[in-house]
């Protein structure tokens, strides 16, 4: 068969298309120096192992599906979202807890988690749970910055902190412990007022991190609180009619809309920053509403025990567990499985991380 000039042009165009598509996939993944995590049990990779609290996950069956099948202090059967995100970004495979006394310089330089299971923005939350409050996590972060300075010097430390991806994931405990299940704040606030109270605390938290040198923030909204198995157990009159608590889900959606708007305003107040609202409500409610579509089966109870109330101390070595946690949305009565976290991480890879790349490109063009 004789090839004409037109054939070669078509082949060249196709090759260029493949190269461009491959390049775009790489370019859409922004570069970060490290990953820094603040928040609650959804992102605590083991800090609670080192404090006095009942909220620990350093015992079996937690960690059953983690590499090496060891309980690390993560409140799940395996990895958490920060671990998957760190891997997606080619930073490292897992994110260690800052309180681990055996961290290497490399582990410190590439990022750690300051999060604590049971924490929240409301100081009352940590008092009830014994967790590390968000205000204390800031202090731990400042100590971390000093360690980084000692390792690489002040100038390089400033660059690392400024180029780090900061993930903030907290708020659910505040509503569970202070408004819905233990109404300690209901005498002071209605739900609208308490949402604003929490978001004011969050805004102060971000500003403090900004003052220390952080510039790139992924701020997580609330998940579908009313679909957490323990909330269904507490609020449903009949176990035969188990369903999500709709008013709590509705409150979470309103909170998230407020948060998305507030973060846009906050970004304008912090020159050189990128403050991205991270939607975890939608991917989680999608799993719960259409589990078969995503390879899941059980959505209303956890894998550990009955899955209706077992969590931390009640989910232990003698508690029976399901055979295949990957078919369950929840691991215990509160926390998602590794499979759920992996799905959420992939969602964030597609929907959240590209927003940082766009900002970097836009900033470069302006300069």
Active site residues: 41, 332, 335
* Distances 199 to 94, 193, 355 between C-alpha atoms, Å: 29, 10, 22
Half-sphere exposure of 24 (CA within 13 A, CB side): 7
* Residue 49 DSSP one-character state: G
CA distances from 316 to 287, 323, 352 (A): 26, 16, 35
Please say whether the beta carbons of 78 and 338 come within 8 A. Answer: yes
In sequence order, which residues have a C-beta less than 8 Å from that of residue 285 and are 6 or more positions away?
224, 227, 249
Which among 223, 230, 277 is positioned nearest to 252, based on CA atoms? 223
Nearest to 255 by CA among 199, 203, 217, 181: 199
How far apart are the C-alpha atoms of 359 and 274, rounded to whole Å?
Answer: 7
- Going from the C-alpha of 1 to that of each of 4, 7, 10, 107, 125, the distances in angstroms are 10, 11, 16, 59, 76
d(CA 164, CA 49): 25
Q: Specify the DSSP class assigned to residue 66.
A: S
Nearest 5°: phi and psi at 216?
-120, 110
Q: How far apart are CA 202 and CA 200, in angstroms?
A: 5
- Angle ∠(325,243,230) on CA atoms, nearest 5: 60
154-162 and 134-152 helices, crossing angle to 10°: 130
């Amino acid at each position: 068969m004789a090839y004409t000039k037109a054939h070669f042009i078509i082949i060249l165009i196709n090759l260029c298309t493949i190269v461009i598509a491959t390049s775009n996939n790489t370019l859409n993944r922004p570069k970060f120096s490290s990953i820094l995590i603040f928040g609650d049990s959804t992102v605590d990779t083991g800090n609670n192992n080192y404090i006095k609290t009942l909220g620990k996950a350093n015992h079996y069956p937690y960690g059953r599906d983690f590499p090496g099948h060891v309980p690390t202090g993560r409140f799940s059967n395996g990895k958490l979202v920060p671990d998957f995100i760190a891997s997606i970004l080619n930073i490292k495979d897992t994110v260690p807890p800052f309180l681990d006394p055996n961290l290497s310089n490399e582990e410190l330089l590439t990022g750690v988690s300051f999060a604590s299971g049971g924490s929240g923005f409301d100081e009352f939350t940590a008092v009830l749970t014994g967790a590390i409050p968000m205000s204390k996590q800031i202090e731990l972060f400042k100590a971390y910055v000093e360690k980084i300075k000692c390792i690489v010097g002040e100038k390089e430390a400033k660059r690392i902190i400024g180029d780090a991806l900061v993930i903030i994931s907290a708020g659910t405990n505040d509503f569970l412990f202070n408004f819905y299940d233990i109404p300690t704040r209901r005498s002071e606030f209605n739900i609208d007022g308490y949402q604003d109270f929490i978001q004011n605390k969050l805004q102060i938290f971000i500003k403090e991190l900004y003052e220390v040198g952080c510039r790139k923030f992924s701020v997580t909204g609330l998940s579908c609180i009313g679909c957490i198995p323990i909330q269904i157990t507490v609020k449903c009159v009949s176990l035969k009619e188990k369903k999500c608590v709709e008013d709590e889900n509705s409150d979470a959606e309103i909170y998230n809309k407020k948060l998305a708007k507030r973060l846009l305003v906050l970004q304008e107040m912090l020159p050189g920053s990128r403050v991205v609202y991270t939607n975890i409500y939608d991917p989680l409610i999608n799993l719960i509403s259409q589990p078969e579509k995503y390879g899941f089966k059980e959505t209303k109870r956890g894998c550990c025990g009955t899955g209706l109330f077992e969590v931390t101390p009640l989910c232990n070595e003698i508690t029976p567990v399901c055979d295949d946690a990957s078919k369950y949305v929840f691991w215990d009565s509160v926390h998602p499985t590794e499979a759920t976290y992996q799905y959420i991480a992939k969602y964030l890879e597609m929907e959240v991380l590209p927003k940082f790349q766009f900002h970097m490109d836009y900033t470069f063009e302006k300069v």
